[in-house]
């Protein structure tokens, strides 16, 4: 079994450079949308302005989860085959390159009613605020109110409906998934799409055949409690219980 699949920390000697490249690639994606009048409007403009502020590098202890090692090759292949925005492809490639030096965690533990999510979801923080946020360690600290994550959700996995005070910005980087917000119907979201969750708006994501790689940003209320999973999240879709879709790895 590769070292990365045993969940061991891996020290990467050129970690700083790959983190810098990842940050540049992220700024390119956000900057392109900020310059597009039909992009994300004020929310993307805010994200863009926060991202342009100077960041303080931090040393972190790298960590991997089994899901990252398992899907890295597939993400790499899907990126090469992707016909989407070249800047998104560059961002995914930079993330793959930086991945061994990042701290990937499974933020939802067994025992909180989220066993399936524990197995099928992992995330890492690239930019963090100057406050503790669970077990995350980000290689960049933001002087104000910005946190940036990358999340990986396995096929046939539900990220249950949840809500939080922080308004949230998502961009789909790889994979097509179903998204649900507020009282709206589930909707297919594809790479290159921005999704905006209002403060306290319930939302959920359901993958089908493909893993979902996404970027998430919080721009306010970073010290408010993180997502709260609720029992009603196991809502049936299309006559089937998505929690029983089964991710077999
Ligand atoms: Fe959320």
Per residue in 52-85, pLDDT (tens digit) is 999 999 999 999 988 888 877 676 666 555 556 8
- Nearest 5°: the CA angle 5, 151, 2 is 10
Please report the pLDDT score of residue 112 as a whole number: 54
Question: 228 alpha carbon to ligand 1 midpoint, in Å?
Answer: 9
Question: 162 alpha carbon to ligand 1 midpoint, in Å?
Answer: 6
According to DSSP, the residues that pair with 218 across neighbouring strands are: 147, 168
Question: 148 alpha carbon to ligand 1 midpoint, in Å?
Answer: 12
Question: 13 alpha carbon to ligand 1 midpoint, in Å?
Answer: 33
Question: 195 alpha carbon to ligand 1 midpoint, in Å?
Answer: 11
Please report the pLDDT score of residue 80 as a whole number: 58
* Domains by residue range for the chain, with CATH: 15-244 (2.60.120.10)
Question: 171 alpha carbon to ligand 1 midpoint, in Å?
Answer: 12
Question: 127 alpha carbon to ligand 1 midpoint, in Å?
Answer: 16
Question: 237 alpha carbon to ligand 1 midpoint, in Å?
Answer: 20
**Which parts of the chain sit beneath pLDDT 70?**
1-15, 39-40, 73, 75-84, 108-116, 225-249
Question: 55 alpha carbon to ligand 1 midpoint, in Å?
Answer: 24
Question: 46 alpha carbon to ligand 1 midpoint, in Å?
Answer: 18
Question: 166 alpha carbon to ligand 1 midpoint, in Å?
Answer: 8
Number of residues written out for the chain: 249
Give, as one character, the DSSP assignment of residue 100.
Answer: G
Question: 202 alpha carbon to ligand 1 midpoint, in Å?
Answer: 8
CB burial string 127-152: b at 16+ within 10 A, e below: bbbeeebeebbbbbebeeebbbbbbb
Please report the pLDDT score of residue 104 as a whole number: 94
Cα 124 to Cα 136: distance, rounded to the nearest angstrom: 7
Question: 89 alpha carbon to ligand 1 midpoint, in Å?
Answer: 24
Cα 18 to Cα 124: distance, rounded to the nearest angstrom: 15
Question: 211 alpha carbon to ligand 1 midpoint, in Å?
Answer: 18
**Nearest Cα residue to 51 out of 37, 30, 36:** 30
Please report the pLDDT score of residue 191 as a whole number: 93
Please report the pLDDT score of residue 12 as a whole number: 46
Please report the pLDDT score of residue 18 as a whole number: 94
In angstroms, the Cα distances linking 108 to 24, 32, 43 are: 29, 33, 28
Please report the pLDDT score of residue 66 as a whole number: 85
Please report the pLDDT score of residue 56 as a whole number: 93
Is residue 218 within 8 A of residue 165, CB to CB? The reply is: no
């Amino acid at each position: 079994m590769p070292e990365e699949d045993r969940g061991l920390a891996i020290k990467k000697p050129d970690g700083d450079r790959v983190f810098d490249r990842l940050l540049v690639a992220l700024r390119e994606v956000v900057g392109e949308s900020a310059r597009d009048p039909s992009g994300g409007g004020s929310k993307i403009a805010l994200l863009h302005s926060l991202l342009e502020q100077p960041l303080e590098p931090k040393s972190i202890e790298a960590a991997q989860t089994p899901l990252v090692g398992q899907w890295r090759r597939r993400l790499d292949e899907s990126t090469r085959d992707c016909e989407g925005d070249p800047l998104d492809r560059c961002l995914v490639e930079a993330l793959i390159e930086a991945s061994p030096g990042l701290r990937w965690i499974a933020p939802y533990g067994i025992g909180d009613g989220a066993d399936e999510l524990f197995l099928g979801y992992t995330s890492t923080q690239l930019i963090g605020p100057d406050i503790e946020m669970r077990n995350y360690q980000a290689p960049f600290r933001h002087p104000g109110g910005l946190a940036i994550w990358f999340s990986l959700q396995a096929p046939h996995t539900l990220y249950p409906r949840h809500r939080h005070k922080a308004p949230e910005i998502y961009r789909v980087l790889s994979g097509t998934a179903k998204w649900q917000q507020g009282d709206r119907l589930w909707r297919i979201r594809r790479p290159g799409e921005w999704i905006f969750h209002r403060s306290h708006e319930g939302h959920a994501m359901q993958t089908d055949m493909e893993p979902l790689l996404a970027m998430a940003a919080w721009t306010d209320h970073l010290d408010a409690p993180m997502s709260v999973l609720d029992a009603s999240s196991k809502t049936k879709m299309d006559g089937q219980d998505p929690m029983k879709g089964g991710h077999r790895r």
